[in-house]
């Protein structure tokens, strides 16, 4: 039966998520209509929900870890996509195919693509529109709930590891054992690295080792830089946290020509001595999720090597409660909203 309306959780003003009913929209040129089955909650959703991002037009539906099924296609959609197909959309909502970065093939750096759940409505809803260029094919063997976090936390850490320059057997440190870090540990272990988890507190030590770390460094009781240097220095450090001071402090633990990969977006600048960079030819690099093709590689690798996010679920109507659990750090490790569509 055709539905004329759908339910969505929208930000009507900063700090307020309300359940509303909307008319089902028609997809325009290059757009598709997705029936949403699951949407992960990410820390970055705070930008819209708490009013931390500028230039967001309210009301806005948050959410950028979206998995569902194609319900309707607009004009100009490639033949690769068909009604009924399982698809996903991540943070980057579809490249324009016209800007300089797109012409160079750097689709994730496109300057004219929507940010899902921020500059256009996202997946805290039973339906959503999306650009076809942002679509990710979801493997049949991967459930909607387990696929959702891999479209943000998964691709962010998987792609960063691929860009790290580290080779199998190299020492790789993961700073922060949370929503991003618990996936990074799994990917790093399965990529053949010697993995060191860097966190705060003895309570997560056993968990970090179970997730794939060979060693755990508790920064509350030991100096992480000294410990990593005694191991020969890290060939790569992937930092998933937003504490810029803690990130900066770990920089001297890099081996010569080592690379600090930043996926956690702090609100304070990093503070790094130039001599640390120059003396050992070390580098700092940011990594922003990836293209739809790279997202599909992430899903394939996750299936092949049995990498999964650890997930809690709540229904769409409980989005505010779910969001608060994420913001408080109570979730171990990802939260996913279910829509009741499957």
Q: What is the pLDDT averaged over residues 109-125? A: 97
164 and 280 share one domain: yes
Q: What is the pLDDT averaged over residues 306-327? A: 97
- What pLDDT, on the 0 to 100 scale, is given for residue 1? 44
Number of domains in the chain: 2
- pLDDT above 90: residue 309: yes
Query: Burial level of 277, CB count in 10 A (0-12/13-18/19+)?
Result: middle
Share of the chain above pLDDT 70, in %: 99
Query: What is the Cα–Cα distance from 18 to 242, expressed in whole angstroms?
Result: 28
Query: What is the Cα–Cα distance from 275 to 280, expressed in whole angstroms?
Result: 8
Three-class DSSP category at 294: helix
131 and 216 share one domain: no
State how far the alpha carbon of 188 is from the alpha carbons of 168, 174, 204, 267, 313, in Å. 9, 9, 18, 27, 26
Query: What is the Cα–Cα distance from 251 to 327, expressed in whole angstroms?
Result: 27
26 and 141 share one domain: yes
- What pLDDT, on the 0 to 100 scale, is given for residue 266? 87
305 and 278 share one domain: no
pLDDT digit string (tens) for 9-41?
A: 999 999 999 999 999 999 999 999 999 999 999
Which domain-ending residue is among 286, 308, 330?
286
pLDDT digit string (tens) for 245-276?
A: 999 999 999 999 999 999 998 889 999 999 98
Query: What is the Cα–Cα distance from 93 to 95, expressed in whole angstroms?
Result: 7
247 and 316 share one domain: no
Which domain-ending residue is among 246, 267, 286?
286
107 and 31 share one domain: yes
Query: What is the Cα–Cα distance from 152 to 149, expressed in whole angstroms?
Result: 6
- What pLDDT, on the 0 to 100 scale, is given for residue 59? 97
pLDDT digit string (tens) for 190-236?
A: 999 999 999 999 999 999 999 999 999 999 999 999 999 999 999 99
State how far the alpha carbon of 39 is from the alpha carbons of 79, 257, 312, 341, in Å. 26, 39, 12, 12
State how far the alpha carbon of 314 is from the alpha carbons of 30, 38, 41, 62, 331, in Å. 32, 10, 10, 16, 12
221 and 111 share one domain: no
pLDDT band at 315 (very low <50, low <70, confident <90, very high): very high
pLDDT digit string (tens) for 169-195?
A: 999 999 999 999 999 999 999 999 999
| CB contact at 8 A, 9 and 55 | no
The rounded mean pLDDT for the chain is 96
pLDDT digit string (tens) for 277-297?
A: 998 999 999 999 999 999 999
Q: pTM score, two decimals? A: 0.95
43 and 139 share one domain: yes
223 and 310 share one domain: no
Q: What is the pLDDT averaged over residues 72-99? A: 97
pLDDT digit string (tens) for 90-107?
A: 999 999 999 999 999 999
Beta bridge partners of 313: 336
Note down the domain range covering 210. Answer: 157-286
188 and 264 share one domain: yes
Query: What is the Cα–Cα distance from 317 to 185, expressed in whole angstroms?
Result: 32
CATH number of the domain at 222, please: 3.40.50.720
- What pLDDT, on the 0 to 100 scale, is given for residue 341? 74
- What pLDDT, on the 0 to 100 scale, is given for residue 267? 86
Closest residue by Cα to residue 213 from 226, 200, 194, 237 = 194
- What pLDDT, on the 0 to 100 scale, is given for residue 2? 61
112 and 24 share one domain: yes
Query: What is the Cα–Cα distance from 340 to 126, expressed in whole angstroms?
Result: 8
Query: Burial level of 13, CB count in 10 A (0-12/13-18/19+)?
Result: exposed
CATH number of the domain at 48, please: 3.90.180.10
136 and 9 share one domain: yes
């Amino acid at each position: 039966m055709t539905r004329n309306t759908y339910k969505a959780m929208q930000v009507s003003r900063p700090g307020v998520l309300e359940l509303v009913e909307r008319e089902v929209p028609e997809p325009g040129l290059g757009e598709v209509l997705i029936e949403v089955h699951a949407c992960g909650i990410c820390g970055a959703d705070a930008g819209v929900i708490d009013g931390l991002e500028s230039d967001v037009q309210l009301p806005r539906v948050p959410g950028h870890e979206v998995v569902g099924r194609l319900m309707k296609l607009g004009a100009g959609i490639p033949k690769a996509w068909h009604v009924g197909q399982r698809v996903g959309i991540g943070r980057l909502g579809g490249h324009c195919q016209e800007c300089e970065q797109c012409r160079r093939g750097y689709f994730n750096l496109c300057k004219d693509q929507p940010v899902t759940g921020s500059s256009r409505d996202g997946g805290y809803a039973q339906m959503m529109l999306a650009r076809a260029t942002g679509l990710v094919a979801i493997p049949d063997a991967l459930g909607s709930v387990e696929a959702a976090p891999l479209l943000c936390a998964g691709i962010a850490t998987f792609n960063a590891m691929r860009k790290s320059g580290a080779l199998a057997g190299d020492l790789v440190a993961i700073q922060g054992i949370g929503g991003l870090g618990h996936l990074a540990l799994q990917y790093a272990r399965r990529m053949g690295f010697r993995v060191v988890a860097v966190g705060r507190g003895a309570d997560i030590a056993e968990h970090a080792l179970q997730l794939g770390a060979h060693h755990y460094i508790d920064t509350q009781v030991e100096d992480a830089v000294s410990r990593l240097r005694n191991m020969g220095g890290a060939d790569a450090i992937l930092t998933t946290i937003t504490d810029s001071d803690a990130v900066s402090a770990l920089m001297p633990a890099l081996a010569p020509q080592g690379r600090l990969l930043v996926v956690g977006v702090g609100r304070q600048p990093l503070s790094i001595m130039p001599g640390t960079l120059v003396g050992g030819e070390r580098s700092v690099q940011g990594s922003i999720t990836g293209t739809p093709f790279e997202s599909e590689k992430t899903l394939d690798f996750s299936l092949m090597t049995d990498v999964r996010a650890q997930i809690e679920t709540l229904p769409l109507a409980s989005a505010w409660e779910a969001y608060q659990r994420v913001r408080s750090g109570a979730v171990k490790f990802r939260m996913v909203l279910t829509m009741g569509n499957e």
